Structure 1
């Protein structure tokens, strides 16, 4: 057997073998209801990949999946252990159609099909000018859909597999696991706090709002008002810093305690070291900040060693003794 199911047959000679148990995905998977499970493909490699195997033949590769029956039946773990090749029926003379490549479970205890088996099958759709996928019977998982052009046959060149195959694999995961991205994202979560991956974005199901929401980790905000040290001729009157998510911002206010500094030409005053901010709050590289005392303003450089230096100061051309200068910056730590 190349298509195996666990918990389908019991007892010899055709019951669940030890190999079936080892190969089929067992355990508790993502719930959809009190007694139902989200069916789907188990991720890993390229599971149950469909490829063209001839003009009118399609091959399904190996992989594992879970197929949900009714709530009374439960879910069937399935493993395809060798590629399965199926032949697509020739196309309708006038209209295209869409067929579906599926995994299907037959269970004589619950359905009227008269057999107990699991199989890879092709469900043939109805030809139409705008064809749709065939309706799935119970206990069936759609994997791929195939557009069959009107008049397609081996004699006319068959199916263009590059454009005919549409991936319909949806994925499932173990309970508490993150559901990988697959075909279709328009489904509700089963419980508050369930996660799924959508194109590299982690989403969390909010049962209160009944929505998938982009997951944003806590910022873990830290603040401090201590540790800034004034340089000679200045005093620190205020310091406040905040960091979160690898970024930091701070404000430091210093007062000129020395004599008034006046530019000889009445222009800019440069390179005044006014303070040093504490370790852990310093930038990863030298950055620029803004400075102002309400009368004049300029730029400041914050160094990786925490030094805060007034680079330019204008237009007054003076730094008045006793006047407060406020410097602010934001940067990556």
Structure 2
């Protein structure tokens, strides 16, 4: 089995130490760090056509029986902190054979790429090998733990009683890919086995398979970070000067918005309460509700209102999203007459009819909403 590692055998070993081709094929350089002296171990990504994230060191079976193959590929194996990381490559397809199944129960074996370094582990050998770590047979079997100085490549379920003589292992369903990817420091880590790992430093990126995430020092966050809807309390005011101030009393102001780059979507609502003082008849002051983020320019939004009692009704129209009034407001609430034509009055105070704050069953409210441009 031709498995090679750089910086493992020295020049005085019986195998001649590291060759020039070892140096060219082994993944050398500083890999994604997991600590001051440790690296993220895993398989180097890439495929001949660019179709797959991980092509190297794929475990598969293409004939019936108990033998499988491991595809050529490159990897980094992180041993103990003091031992460092070992660059490994397999230049050709390698065969592995599983022991026959237990007579009574299935088991899950673990295929690993493992480093033995006598100088570090007193194993009496210095080599890189493919190993099958045999699991314990059980009614509900699980894979064994990955040994120190090794990376997991695949879990393989060996059915009870399986052997080469009776068909062996069903390769289409028995293999569970355990490879994970590693890249050079600063690189984006591709999606591989599992996402349950911490980043090595703030500013590190990984690909989840559906998007990018950035490590912020304590957690992975979507990148770019997606905006979320949030609450805000709009200000209720009036454009016309010289009128009595508006008093909310036990009324209610509420709003929601989301800012996505240079665009804001918002909704703001005024509910009239029993102690709300809007000034009385003929006090139409061109009401407004403030915006959550100052707009870059004037534009148009939507407006509706529910005012009056059962003989009243709903009124729909438009509003101006105004950058002319600081800090940016939704004003000029327009309504329509029964014939559908715009009325000549703004929809506030007693136009088109006075709001009721003390009706026992019908809440009276005004609402504006829309989308507008902001300075990003």
Structure 1 residues 327 and 117: CA distance shift in structure 2, 3 A: same
**CA shift for structure 1 position 297:** 5.3
- CA distance in 2 between counterparts of 1:318 and 1:289 reads 14
Instruction: Work out whether residues 188 and 206 of structure 2, in 8 Å CA contact, stay in contact via their aligned partners in 1.
Output: yes
- CA distance in 1 between counterparts of 2:346 and 2:138 reads 87
Match for residue 189 of structure 1?
199
* 2:188 counterpart SS class: coil
- CA distance in 1 between counterparts of 2:263 and 2:92 reads 52
**CA shift for structure 1 position 115:** 1.6
Counterpart pick for 1:320 among 333, 338, 344:
344
Structure 1 residues 21 and 282: CA distance shift in structure 2, 3 A: farther
- CA distance in 2 between counterparts of 1:91 and 1:281 reads 74
Match for residue 17 of structure 1?
19
Q: Which moved more, 1:124-133 or 1:242-251?
A: 242-251
Alignment of 1:218-237 (within 5 A): none
Match for residue 283 of structure 2?
none
Matching of residue 53 in structure 1 with residue 62 in structure 2: yes
Match for residue 118 of structure 1?
128
Match for residue 233 of structure 1?
none
Alignment of 1:282-293 (within 5 A): 289-290=302-303
Match for residue 211 of structure 2?
201
- CA distance in 2 between counterparts of 1:105 and 1:34 reads 21
Counterpart pick for 1:108 among 115, 118, 123:
118
* 2:21 counterpart SS class: helix
Instruction: Work out whether residues 95 and 128 of structure 1, in 8 Å CA contact, stay in contact via their aligned partners in 2.
Output: yes
* 2:120 counterpart SS class: coil
Unaligned runs of 5+ in 2: 48-54, 228-238, 241-257, 268-295, 309-313, 321-332, 352-365
Match for residue 307 of structure 1?
none
**CA shift for structure 1 position 167:** 0.9
**CA shift for structure 1 position 25:** 1.0
**CA shift for structure 1 position 147:** 0.6
Matching of residue 247 in structure 1 with residue 263 in structure 2: yes
Instruction: Work out whether residues 4 and 118 of structure 1, in 8 Å CA contact, stay in contact via their aligned partners in 2.
Output: yes
Match for residue 268 of structure 1?
none
Structure 1 residues 243 and 202: CA distance shift in structure 2, 3 A: closer
- CA distance in 1 between counterparts of 2:121 and 2:2 reads 23
Matching of residue 213 in structure 1 with residue 224 in structure 2: no
**CA shift for structure 1 position 245:** 3.2
Match for residue 5 of structure 1?
5
* 1:53 counterpart SS class: coil
- CA distance in 2 between counterparts of 1:250 and 1:211 reads 30
- Over aligned residue pairs, what C-alpha RMSD do you find? 3.9
- CA distance in 1 between counterparts of 2:345 and 2:62 reads 86
Structure 1 residues 323 and 169: CA distance shift in structure 2, 3 A: closer
Structure 1 residues 80 and 246: CA distance shift in structure 2, 3 A: farther
**CA shift for structure 1 position 44:** 0.9
- CA distance in 1 between counterparts of 2:186 and 2:335 reads 57
Alignment of 1:58-69 (within 5 A): 58-69=68-79
State TM-score, norm by structure 1: 0.69
Per-residue Cα deviation, 1:24-44 (whole angstroms, up to 9, x for no partner) = 111111112221111111111
Instruction: Work out whether residues 108 and 116 of structure 1, in 8 Å CA contact, stay in contact via their aligned partners in 2.
Output: yes
Instruction: Work out whether residues 204 and 215 of structure 2, in 8 Å CA contact, stay in contact via their aligned partners in 1.
Output: yes
**CA shift for structure 1 position 212:** 2.4
Structure 1 residues 329 and 109: CA distance shift in structure 2, 3 A: same
**CA shift for structure 1 position 299:** 4.2
Per-residue Cα deviation, 1:162-216 (whole angstroms, up to 9, x for no partner) = 1110111122121122222211222222222322222323222232xx3223333
Alignment of 1:133-148 (within 5 A): 133-148=143-158
Higher strand proportion (structure 1 or 2): 1
Match for residue 267 of structure 1?
none
Aligned residues: 277
Matching of residue 29 in structure 1 with residue 37 in structure 2: no
**CA shift for structure 1 position 330:** 3.7
Instruction: Work out whether residues 69 and 138 of structure 1, in 8 Å CA contact, stay in contact via their aligned partners in 2.
Output: yes
* 1:320 counterpart SS class: strand
- CA distance in 2 between counterparts of 1:52 and 1:332 reads 58
Structure 1 residues 281 and 101: CA distance shift in structure 2, 3 A: farther
Unaligned runs of 5+ in 1: 220-235, 252-279, 303-309
